[in-house]
Amino acid sequence: MSLLELENVHSYYGHIHALQGISLRVEEGEIVTLIGANGAGKSTTLRTISGLIKPRHGSVRLKGQDITGLPPHQIVELGVGHVPEGRGIFPRLTVRENLEMGAYTIQDRAEVARRMEFVFGIFPRLKERINQKGGTLSGGEQQMLATARGLMLKPHILLMDEPSMGLAPVLVEAIFEVIKTLNQQEGTTILLVEQNALMALSVAHRGYVLQIGNIVLDDTAENLKKNEMVRAAYLGVK
Amino acid sequence: MRRLLNATVLIEILRPLGQIAVFVAGAGLILSALMLGMAVLLRGSTVDATTMKNYGVDLFTYTLVNLPQVLIDGVTIGFVYAAIALGYTMVYGVLEFINFAHSEIFAIGAFVGVEVLIALDNSGRLDGIPYTMAYFWLFLAVLAAMVAAGATAVAMERIAYRPLRGAPRLVPLISAIGVSFFLQDAIRLIESLTTGQFHRIIPTFGNFDQQISLASLYIVGTKIDLVMQVKSVIVIVSAIVMVVGLNYLVNATKLGKAIRSVAQDRVTANLMGINVNRIIAMTFLIGGTLGGAAGVLFALKFTRIDPFVGFFPGLKAFTAAVLGGIGNITGALLGGLVLGMLETFSGSYLSVFTMGAFGAEYKDILAFAILILVLIFRPSGLLGEQVGQKA
Ligand SMILES: Nc1ncnc2c1ncn2[C@@H]1O[C@H](COP(=O)(O)OP(=O)(O)O)[C@@H](O)[C@H]1O
Ligand SMILES: [Mg+2]
């Protein structure tokens, strides 16, 4: 049984048919990446998994349990963390408060404190900024905060939507390094959405290629990197 | 860790108290200086002479002698406005929506509180009781009002606003005005069916009407007794408790952080596992209970209520919220105090300074003139940030 499984999912924005029958699965301990051009439906896939969009057809299953149509806050309680596109930092909450919100569903205060120490271990920079308002952080720091906040929950699976967007190359490297570390040392399962296909495929185990609401390819990251179509369309190789 | 926690708690309580002190002193001093300055400027003018003729003292003395009492009354009504303004500001901060039916939530609070006291009075429970019992019953009446007003606010959100979320902004606003009319008439209907009257008078009991003598001052040779009704003290103390309590709740508790998160980014808040609908309902509950309590305090202070009792205080509290910066809790406090004082100042001095051309009744116009001016020149208000802002 897969940790996460989407079967023939159709999602709409009004009349716009954004997902046209997506099926994919993520196994425990994997990094799976979803690559595709702007507007392909990557974010919509993540939003459908976390319940922000209710699919009109198809099902989403978490550890075999049907979670299709559950409200987002209940899906979070089942251990699905979502670091949204554009980071979604609460600008007028402090770094500490932002992190506390990430652990909103955890009642045990000592556990929240432990989680906070854990994410400070990964992002020491955030500890220095602990009482600063989220909105005053730099872009890179905000991405760290968004990722750290997603980890506060100790998620079974972390959905990450374009964590490298708008970051300087050296920060992109750093973020991908964190993703790899999390997966290898903490065993966190990650579904990674990226436009930076090269980076994504270099950390992922497997990948899916999305085109206008359809999955057109799925394979191991190694094979995708070698695939002609992927190389031409997403890796900028002629 | 525990000591750290207590320090935070202490700060969250002390900060609003400090703000209250600063706002009261600041607004009071500025307005007093303004009045005295004008009196000095008008020395020897016809205004001065007219005052001399009517009151037997010159304008400056008249202004000075009346000042302390004007300040006390202004602060009292200012706190009432502030308490109501908190409800507008909480809801606005989270939904960016002005709940025009908040004035009826206030009215419901006033009616439930007063009816509880009337029932107690009719059953003889208020006759000749010791003061401690009087306070107990008053507290009970306030509590009942808070429950009723809070429940109404939550029901209102569920029935009239939630289905319209996502609709253009004007739509819930119209719904709010509809709710407002509906509740006014509901109160009228219930009151006329059950009591045969539209208006109610709060029973006299306890020591609430007594005057406390604060001090005796000698200003320019005139002895002035500074007095304050016990009920004014109750109003002020209760309002301070509400402001401090709300401040603590919003800034230091998990619920408060969730409220601020929802105010800042509803979708992301949802992704944190926050049940956004519940938090919005909680916001209405909090605003509603505060409004309900304010209703009873208002009835205590002004004695007589009718189904339209919420209209003017509601509109003025809304003005106060806008003046302070709608969405901002500290702003509601500041706006309420400033407006209450401005109004009392104009009520007391306008007639003298204009030689009777404009009477005290113009004080109501003042509030709305301020509203219009603020909306034109500084729509974000004096403090101009949102509930999401840690005060
Ligand atoms: N809020 C929205 N309202 C309407 N259409 C949307 C909305 N968000 C996305 N879409 C449309 O859905 C499709 C998929 O978008 P999205 O999932 O955001 O793409 P990606 O994340 O791959 O760039 C696009 O055609 C986009 O225009
Ligand atoms: Mg996207």
Sorted by where each begins, the domain ranges of chain A are 1-79+158-238, 87-154
Which residues of chain B does A71 touch, with a Cβ-Cβ cutoff of 8 Å? 270, 275
Residue A85 CB-half CA count within 13 A:
13
Instruction: Using alpha carbons only, give the angle A19, A24, A30 rounded to the nearest 5 degrees.
Output: 135
Of the given ranges (A162-176, B141-155, B174-188), which has the lowest mean pLDDT?
A: A162-176
Residue B244 has pLDDT above 60, yes or no: yes
Q: Would you state the pLDDT for residue B217?
A: 79
Compute CA distances A151 → A81, A190, A199, whole Å. Answer: 7, 11, 21
Instruction: Report the residue among A19, A20, A38, A44 best suited for mutation to probe ligand 1: largest number of ligand atoms under 8 A from its CB.
Output: A44
Contact (CB, 8 A) for B309 and B110:
yes
User: Which of B:270-299 have CB within 8 Å of A?
Assistant: 270-276
Where do we find the tokens 């009942």?
B144
Query: Which pLDDT does position A74 carry in this prediction?
Result: 97
Q: Among B259, B3, B92, which Cα is nearest to A104's?
A: B259
The domain tally of chain B equals: 1
Q: Which atom of ligand 1 is nearest to the CA of A41?
A: 17
The CA distance from B57 to B61, in Å, is 6
Distance CA A189, CA A200 (A): 14
pLDDT of B385 strictly over 70? no
Which residue type occupies A160? M
pLDDT confidence of residue B391 = 39
Single-letter residue type at B33? A
**B260 contacts on A by Cβ (under 8 Å):** 90, 92-93, 97
CATH number assigned to the domain with residue range A1-79+158-238, chosen from the 4 options 3.20.20.70, 3.90.320.10, 3.40.50.300, 3.30.750.24: 3.40.50.300
DSSP secondary structure, B276-302, as one string: HHHHHHHHHHHHHHHHHHHHHHHHHHH
- CB proximity B346 to A under 8 Å: no
- In this complex, the residue of A76, A94, A104 whose CB is nearest that of residue B258 is A104
Whole-number pLDDT of residue A237? 65
Distance of CA A51 from the midpoint of ligand 1 (Å)? 15
Atom number, ligand 1, closest to the C-alpha of residue A47: 17
Would you say residue B2 has pLDDT above 80? no
Q: What percent of chain A has pLDDT over 70?
A: 99
Residue B202 covered by a domain: yes
Contact between A191 and A114 (Cβ < 8 Å)? no
As a whole number of angstroms, the distance between CA B287 and CA B146 comes to: 10
In the reported structure, the alpha carbon of residue B154 is separated from the centroid of ligand 2 by a whole-number distance in angstroms of: 36
pLDDT at A137 over 90: yes
Q: Which ligand is nearest to the CA of A86?
A: 2
A134 pLDDT exceeds 80?
A: yes
Give the whole-angstrom CA distance, residue B235 versus residue B242: 11
Which pLDDT band, with edges at 50, 70 and 90, does A76 fall under? Answer: very high
First-last CA distance in chain B: 23
Round the CA-based radius of gyration of chain B to a whole number and report it. Answer: 22
Predicted model pTM:
0.91
Using a CB–CB cutoff of 8 Å, tell me whether A55 touches chain B: no
Of all residues in chain A, the one with the smallest CA distance to B268 is A88
For residue B105, what pLDDT is reported?
97
Place of tokens 């009257």: B197
List phi, psi (to 5°) of B100.
Answer: -65, -15
Q: CB of B138 within 8 A of CB of B214?
A: no
pLDDT surpassing 90 at residue B11? no
Inspect the interface and report whether the beta carbons of A93 and B389 lie closer than 8 Å: no
Within A37-184, strands assigned E span 57-62, 65-66, 80-83, 157-161
Q: How far apart are CA A91 and CA A162, in angstroms?
A: 19
Chain A interface includes B255 (CB < 8 A): no
- Answer whether A90's CB lies under 8 Å from A97's CB: yes
Question: CB-based contact (8 Å) between A21 and chain B?
Answer: no
- Cα–Cα distances in Å, from B359 out to A33, B27, B352, B391? 74, 23, 8, 38
Q: What is the pLDDT of residue B4?
A: 57
Number of neighbouring beta carbons within 10 Å of residue B49: 14
A153 lies within 8 A of chain B by CB:
yes
The arithmetic mean of pLDDT across residues B201-224, rounded, is 85
Residue A67 CA, ligand 1 centroid: distance in Å: 22
State the pLDDT at residue B81.
Answer: 96
φ, ψ dihedrals at B381, nearest 5°: 80, 180
pLDDT in tens, B113-140: 999 999 999 999 988 889 999 999 999 9
Cβ of A93 within 8 Å of Cβ of B265? The answer is no
Q: Do A84 and B268 touch (CB under 8 A)?
A: yes
Q: What does the block give as tokens for A159?
A: 């959905």
As for the ipTM of the complex, it is 0.93
B145/B114 Cα distance (integer angstroms): 9
Ligand 1, atom 27, lies closest to the CA of A39
| A84 contacts B267? CB cut-off 8 A | yes
Contact A88 B254 (CB under 8 A): no
Q: Which residue of A has its CA nearest to B258?
A: A101
A130 CB within 8 Å of a chain B CB:
no
pLDDT over threshold 90, residue B55: no
Q: Are strands A16-26 and A4-13 parallel, antiparallel or unpaired?
A: antiparallel
Residue A32 confidence (pLDDT): 97
Cα–Cα distance for residue pair B139/B159, rounded to 1 Å: 30
Q: Name which residue sits closest to atom 12 of ligand 1, judged by CA.
A: A18
pLDDT at A238 over 90: no
- Ligand with smallest separation from the Cα of A84: 2
Q: Which domain holds residue B270?
A: 2-377
pLDDT (mean) for A218-230: 92
Query: Per-residue confidence at B389, pLDDT binned at 50, 70, 90?
Result: very low
Torsion of CA B153, B159, B163, B165, to 10 degrees: -10
B133 inside domain:
yes
B3 — pLDDT class (breaks 50, 70, 90): low
Residue B41 lies in a domain: yes
**Residue from the list B257, B261, B270 with its beta carbon closest to the beta carbon of A72:** B270
**Within a domain: residue B289?**
yes
Cβ-contact B109, B296 below 8 angstroms? yes
pLDDT attached to residue A223: 94
Q: Quick one: what percent of chain A has pLDDT higher than 90?
A: 83
**B333 falls within a domain:** yes
Query: Is residue A140 over pLDDT 80?
Result: yes
B274-311 per-position pLDDT tens digit: 999 999 999 999 999 999 999 999 999 999 999 999 99
Cβ atoms within 10 Å, residue A140: 17
Interchain proximity B273–A105, CB inside 8 Å: yes
- The whole-number pLDDT of residue B390 equals 41
Question: Taking a contact as any Cβ pair under 8 Å apart, which residues of chain A between 94 and 113 contact chain B?
Answer: 94, 97, 100-102, 104-105
Confidence of residue B387 (pLDDT cuts 50, 70, 90): very low
Mean pLDDT computed over every residue of chain A: 93
Residue B57, pLDDT above cutoff 70: yes
pLDDT band, very low/low/confident/very high, at B386 (cuts 50, 70, 90): very low
Pocket of ligand 1 (CB under 6 A): A 13, 16, 18, 36, 38-44
Q: For a pocket test of ligand 1, which of A16, A192, A234 has the largest count of ligand atoms closer than 8 A to its C-beta?
A: A16
pLDDT at A196 over 80: yes
Q: Output the pLDDT for position B52.
A: 87
The CATH number covering residue B137 comes to: 1.10.3470
